[in-house]
Amino acid sequence: MVTIKELTREEYWLPGNSSCPGCPAALGLRMLGKALEGKFVLVVPASCTTVIQGIYPATPSRVPLLNIAFAASASAASGLRAALRIRGLKVPVVVWAGDGGTADIGLQALSGAAERNEDILYICYDNEAYQNTGIQRSGATPYGAWTTTTPLGKREHKKDVPMIVAAHGVPYVATASIAYPLDFVEKVRKAASKSGFRYIHLHAPCPVGWRFPPSKTVEVGRLAVETGMWILYEIEDGVLRLTGRSRVLLDPSKRKPIEEYLRAQGRFSHLDERDVEELKRYVEARWRELKKLLEERGGCLR
């Protein structure tokens, strides 16, 4: 287990950047920097991080960073990896993309890179909407959530990208949450120690887009996990296991009611009973699937 105290005091994502107060992406970038102690290169598609990293000539990034167009991060990282390999450099190439750049417009490049088993670490920080352009629905927006393009609430469930990536048979897939930074750091380090295509899906509650006070970013993230709305797991070589807080939540009685998570956010304030029931049904079904997978097949996906 990683402990707080052993994390480096060094900051690789410097303060005084243009992230919003309480921004989960900025927190995630800080943790990523500490996890790998600055020894990696970043590829960033269009996203909030394009803005957070600042305007020429200054950036908070203390790691080399290549910006790239929205749909192109996994493929640009593939090319960068190839070039660094030629130069004999083993430094990890890490994609840091939002859910729009991952679940939607970048999914083709992501799938291509995963299928080719490119030697890159792809991290999706999932704030569950196009927050940078002002809170529009993405494929990763959950059922019922208000966004500016779903003013009455989204009618479809969240696209399950980590499982889509896992279906490519890549060496490592994990989910993480900004509320559990040490779990995230551990997963980043484990991923970095492997080669081939590695994927981490980081749940990242956005105060602006989800309509909660900026002081609650971590609390909301924690509630997502504790209510079972977001599940922490990792899949190593095709075998899934629950991790961290989620390990004890297979038993439904251990999970907090999802209303606690929904009530904490303005984006769900309009939900009626039927919507809440639908979300409950969805969450229960996901857990049942996982339980079956773990108990009947030892977590073996294929």
In the region spanning residues 181 to 220, those forming contacts with other proteins, defined by CB under 8 A, are 181-182, 207, 213-219
Residue where the block lists tokens 């102690």: 37
Least Å distance, CB 49 to other proteins, is: 10
Of the candidate spans 26-34, 139-147, 267-275, 292-300, the one that interacts with other proteins by CB under 8 A turns out to be 26-34
Provide the H-helix boundaries in 116-256. 161-166, 181-193, 207-210, 217-226
- Within 37-56, the residues that bind other proteins by CB under 8 A are 38-41, 43, 50-51, 53-56
Least Å distance, CB 31 to other proteins, is: 8
Instruction: Give the number of other Cβ atoms within 10 Å of residue 248's Cβ.
Output: 10
**Pairwise CA distance, residues 129 & 143, whole Å:** 12
Are 27 and 181 in contact by the 8 Å Cβ rule? The answer is yes
Considering just the CA atoms, what is the radius of gyration of the chain in Å?
Answer: 18
Among 37, 64, 237, 298, binds other proteins (CB under 8 A): 64
Three-class secondary structure of residue 233 per DSSP: strand
Strand-pairing partners, residue 175, are 201
Q: How far is CA 85 from CA 92, 146, 149, 276, 280, in A?
A: 10, 45, 43, 50, 47
**Pairwise CA distance, residues 15 & 227, whole Å:** 32
Instruction: Establish whether the linkage from the previous residue to 181 is cis, with ω within 30° of 0.
Output: no
Least Å distance, CB 145 to other proteins, is: 22
- Within 218-257, the residues that bind other proteins by CB under 8 A are 218-219
Of the candidate spans 68-76, 134-142, 247-255, 264-272, the one that interacts with other proteins by CB under 8 A turns out to be 68-76
- For other proteins, which is the closer residue by CB, 157 or 256? 256
- Within 143-172, the residues that bind other proteins by CB under 8 A are none
- Within 1-20, the residues that bind other proteins by CB under 8 A are 4-5, 7, 9, 11, 13-20
Write out the two tokens for 78.
């593939």
- Within 86-125, the residues that bind other proteins by CB under 8 A are 86-87, 89, 91, 108-109, 111-112, 115-116
- For other proteins, which is the closer residue by CB, 91 or 250? 91
Among 47, 75, 175, 227, binds other proteins (CB under 8 A): 75
**Pairwise CA distance, residues 103 & 124, whole Å:** 9
- For other proteins, which is the closer residue by CB, 62 or 254? 62
Residue where the block lists tokens 């490049």: 109
- For other proteins, which is the closer residue by CB, 33 or 144? 33
Contact between 298 and other proteins by CB under 8 A: the answer reads no
Q: Give the number of residues in contact with other proteins, rule: CB under 8 A.
A: 79
